[in-house]
Structure 1
Amino acid sequence: MSEPHALIAGAGIGGLSAALCLARAGWRVSIFESAAVLEEVGAGLQLSPNASAILQKLNVIERLRGFSLTPKSIRVRRARDGATLSLMPLADAERRWGAPYLLIHRADLQRALLQAVAEEDAIRIHAGVAVAGFASGSDGVVAALRQGLLRLEASGDCLIGADGARSLVRAKLLGGGADSASFIKRTAWRALIDANRVAPEALRPESCLWLGREAHLVHYPLRGGAVVNVVAVLDESEAAPRPEEDWSRLGDPAVLAARFSSWHKAARSLLAAAQDWRKWPLIDRDPLPGWTAGRVALLGDAAHPMPPFLGQGAAQAIEDAAALGEALQATSDVPQGLAAYAAARRERADRVQRESRAQGRIYHLSGPAAFARDAALRALGGERLLARYDWLYRVRRN
């Protein structure tokens, strides 16, 4: 009996992780990526233990040495005066949760995944080829492909839509009316700053979170301390961006400086040191009624785009990939396996979406509500605050 064949739309972190998990489960995999060149894009992200444990099994973590940061703590600071509201210790993260807590640039993680994929004979990437449609039947699935002016087809045993928040696979699977991903009137401004342009405190091996009125700021060093990754998230009143502007626009530093003019000098100096800002609109959606239909399934942002306030976008896609591999390894009935994958993941992913939204509201409080939040953070203490993330970070044992 020939090995089963999976078609994957999208070569992002979710798609590449899914390909590796399926290959380890005995599947042949074809990945179709609409971009002709897999460029190094994005910004820093956290690999919390729930995700790094999976990447360890895939032999990807070892490839990140020299690029990732193992932070000693998460520091929460108040915007107006820079006061530390909480210091959450991470030195014991691996023993506490079962795997390392890492900070990494998205491009470095994608490169490591691509290297791992290149070593798998069972995986093929087709760049510059987009999935334009599909037909799913009892015996398999056929994907309609577009490569420039060419129209092609590919046949397989299942199709995985890992094609992002604006997923074509999702739109065709559920119908356009069910595709309610929306701009949440917040933007993330991202920059990488050379280490020689920042104050020494910005190079401490920690993730620093600043909380202010209708905005927050996150920064941490990357790539062996050569750069500092900075993300500033702002509430916005502007209209939703056009689809072609979904991922990256140039940001005007003067706008950012004005919005942070009342913040502590350390935060303002860090923002002023950035030479190039990219601005991303943030996308969210209500939990879907289902992730699968027959031989087609959604994964990552295609299934559950979420705001970044828990830092779980990439981590949840990686969790999806592991669950998908396990479910399809456990049965030869592909539709049953895909349904089992969705059943195993939906409740947890839905909770992460809800908690991310709530976290965003807490981060951007102002006035008396912000005062109460800050007092609660100080009273709770770093260790007890960290314990609130045990449900999320603890490695799930099968």
Structure 2
Amino acid sequence: MAYKSHVLVVGCGLSGLASALALAQTGHRVTVFERSSKLQEIGAGIQLSPNATRMLQNRGVLEEVLKYADRPEAGTFRSYRGDVFSQSPPVSDPRLVKKAPYIVIHRADLLRALLPGTRKHKIEVRLGSDVKEINFSKPSLRLSTGEVHEADVILGADGERSRCRDILEGHADPPYSPGDVVYQIPVPIADINEKHLAWDLKKRSSVIFWMGSGGHVVSYLIQHDMLNMVLVYAEGGNGKVMYGLWRADLAEFRSKISEWDPVLHEFYNVEGSVCTKWTLFQIHEPNQWSHENGRFGAAQAFEDAGVLGWIFSQSVGRDQIPDALRVFEEVHKPRASDVRRRTLDQKAMFALADGPDQEKRDAELAAGADHELFKRLWEYDAAESGREAWKTFTKTRENGVTPHIGIEGTRESSIL
């Protein structure tokens, strides 16, 4: 088989795997390097809105993903006391989820659903491969074993503790913690009956947010038989990052929400409920995603994979790879940056203490002020964005104009 180019992907988490599939399906030879000796996803549940599932649909893997996923029938925002004041997020709104669904799924199940694509599209996955150096001029990478691998382009998707990012920026840039800790309790629902306060949460698949001073709780179904309960709480601290999952005492979780909805406290009575915690951390946003030589780029999420995959599906010759990466960065970095900013704003909004700001937030959500924000985010088509960007680039170059790609309105995107 004649490949368009050879791509090395560093990192085989959800982002790296999605990007590898997008590139392999469009005729590129792909080799993925993963530092861990086995594939695993830390954490529990993940919510995928239509802008993400659309990419899975385009790549022909959504059907496999849906075997493990649940489609919520409803979504609500509630006060920490349990009062419902908004039927959002609109997870079942046919205007938003008809063509691509909103789903909830365990992260490990999502990874498992994507893996068959590596065999189908002949993607080589090399586990236990720790990347130590990247030579941007060749381009090539060197593993801790001394092995050197060359290719036409290298894609960095190695997560929060990214060696690729450190090498690109020329200095170590570890994640930092703003002081938020995530507590997670997977609750077996088999023993929840009609007498249990959480019966409504069992009989109807829903995504529910409780918002209170200092943090918020979200719940949804995973693995068809577990109710995933997650508390994001601002604890302050010295900014130190706690990597991995740590066992937490249920009393620690309970102390954060002692005056919250009685339904939440009922979960401690369900046999088999255990609590873990981890740090919610951030990274400093890089000034650029690609190296100046045009042979190295970064991928961060499913939307990135959608944009990148479509651009590289076109007649991109090896000599056009620098142009393709530049177009990818110019078209998608503004949106990614804006979504990141709005996500942080949303976290703060969810943690408002009782008072005028909280009352204003509740009134706006109750009036449906968030619908247009959901619409702009969820209707985003990453593949179409990539297609239009490359079309604009090639057309302007043909006309003898120095191409500059920009998408108007990225400041309007939101994640809620």
Alignment TM-score, normalising by the size of structure 1: 0.87
Amino acid at match of 1:366: A
Question: Could you tell me whether the CA contact under 8 Å between 1:66 and 1:223 is conserved in 2?
Answer: no
- Report what 2:238 is aligned to: 239
Q: d(CA) in 2 for partners of 1:94 and 1:153? A: 50
| Percent identity of paired positions between Structure 1 and Structure 2 | 29
Amino acid at match of 2:27: G
Amino acid at match of 1:390: K
CA RMSD of aligned residues (A): 1.9
Tell me the SS of whatever aligns to 1:258: helix
Question: Could you tell me whether the CA contact under 8 Å between 1:36 and 1:128 is conserved in 2?
Answer: yes
Shift of 1:278: 2.1
Q: What are the Cα deviations for residues 82-126 of structure 1, in whole angstroms up to 9, with x where unaligned?
A: 1101113433346557311111111111001112222212x1000
Shift of 1:3: 3.7
Shift of 1:235: 0.4
- Report what 1:329 is aligned to: 313
Match of 2:160 among 159, 165, 179: 165
- Report what 1:310 is aligned to: none
Q: d(CA) in 1 for partners of 2:3 and 2:361? A: 58
For structure 1, list consecutive stretches of 5 or more residues without a partner in the other structure.
301-316
Q: What are the Cα deviations for residues 145-188 of structure 1, in whole angstroms up to 9, with x where unaligned?
A: 12xxx3211111111110011210001101226x3642111011
Q: d(CA) in 1 for partners of 2:174 and 2:358? A: 31
Shift of 1:256: 1.0
Seen in structure 2, the aligned counterparts of structure 1 residues 175 and 255 have a Cα distance that, compared at 3 Å, is same
Seen in structure 2, the aligned counterparts of structure 1 residues 2 and 106 have a Cα distance that, compared at 3 Å, is closer
Q: d(CA) in 1 for partners of 2:9 and 2:63? A: 25
Shift of 1:40: 4.8
Question: Could you tell me whether the CA contact under 8 Å between 2:158 and 2:164 is conserved in 1?
Answer: yes
Question: Could you tell me whether the CA contact under 8 Å between 2:31 and 2:126 is conserved in 1?
Answer: yes
Q: Does the alignment pair 1:258 with 2:255?
A: yes
Question: Could you tell me whether the CA contact under 8 Å between 2:33 and 2:129 is conserved in 1?
Answer: yes
Shift of 1:222: 2.2
- Report what 1:387 is aligned to: 372
Question: Could you tell me whether the CA contact under 8 Å between 2:136 and 2:296 is conserved in 1?
Answer: yes
Q: How does 1:94-173 map to 2 (within 5 A)?
A: 98-121=99-122, 123-137=123-137, 140-146=138-144, 150-173=145-168
Match of 2:190 among 186, 196, 211: 196
Q: What are the Cα deviations for residues 232-271 of structure 1, in whole angstroms up to 9, with x where unaligned?
A: 10101222335xx323222222211111111121112235
Seen in structure 2, the aligned counterparts of structure 1 residues 195 and 336 have a Cα distance that, compared at 3 Å, is same
Question: Could you tell me whether the CA contact under 8 Å between 2:132 and 2:141 is conserved in 1?
Answer: yes
Q: How does 1:175-254 map to 2 (within 5 A)?
A: 175-176=170-171, 179=173, 181-198=175-192, 199-203=198-202, 204-224=204-224, 226-242=225-241, 245-254=242-251
Count of aligned residue pairs for this structure pair = 368
- Report what 2:365 is aligned to: 377
Q: d(CA) in 1 for partners of 2:74 and 2:373? A: 15
Alignment TM-score, normalising by the size of structure 2: 0.84
Question: Could you tell me whether the CA contact under 8 Å between 2:96 and 2:378 is conserved in 1?
Answer: no
Shift of 1:285: 3.4
Question: Could you tell me whether the CA contact under 8 Å between 1:217 and 1:230 is conserved in 2?
Answer: yes
Q: d(CA) in 1 for partners of 2:244 and 2:154? A: 25
Amino acid at match of 2:187: I
- Report what 2:414 is aligned to: none
Shift of 1:377: 2.5
Shift of 1:197: 4.4
Q: d(CA) in 2 for partners of 1:391 and 1:155? A: 40
Shift of 1:33: 0.6
Seen in structure 2, the aligned counterparts of structure 1 residues 102 and 211 have a Cα distance that, compared at 3 Å, is same
Q: What are the Cα deviations for residues 205-254 of structure 1, in whole angstroms up to 9, with x where unaligned?
A: 11010001101000011223x11111110101222335xx3232222222
Amino acid at match of 1:375: A
Amino acid at match of 1:391: R
Question: Could you tell me whether the CA contact under 8 Å between 2:290 and 2:329 is conserved in 1?
Answer: yes
Question: Could you tell me whether the CA contact under 8 Å between 1:78 and 1:85 is conserved in 2?
Answer: yes
Question: Could you tell me whether the CA contact under 8 Å between 2:18 and 2:114 is conserved in 1?
Answer: yes
Q: Does the alignment pair 1:342 with 2:329?
A: yes
Shift of 1:2: 5.1
For structure 2, list consecutive stretches of 5 or more residues without a partner in the other structure.
193-197, 388-416
Name the one with the larger strand percent: 1
Tell me the SS of whatever aligns to 1:281: strand
Q: d(CA) in 2 for partners of 1:115 and 1:42? A: 22
Question: Could you tell me whether the CA contact under 8 Å between 1:328 and 1:338 is conserved in 2?
Answer: no
Tell me the SS of whatever aligns to 2:87: strand
Seen in structure 2, the aligned counterparts of structure 1 residues 132 and 272 have a Cα distance that, compared at 3 Å, is farther
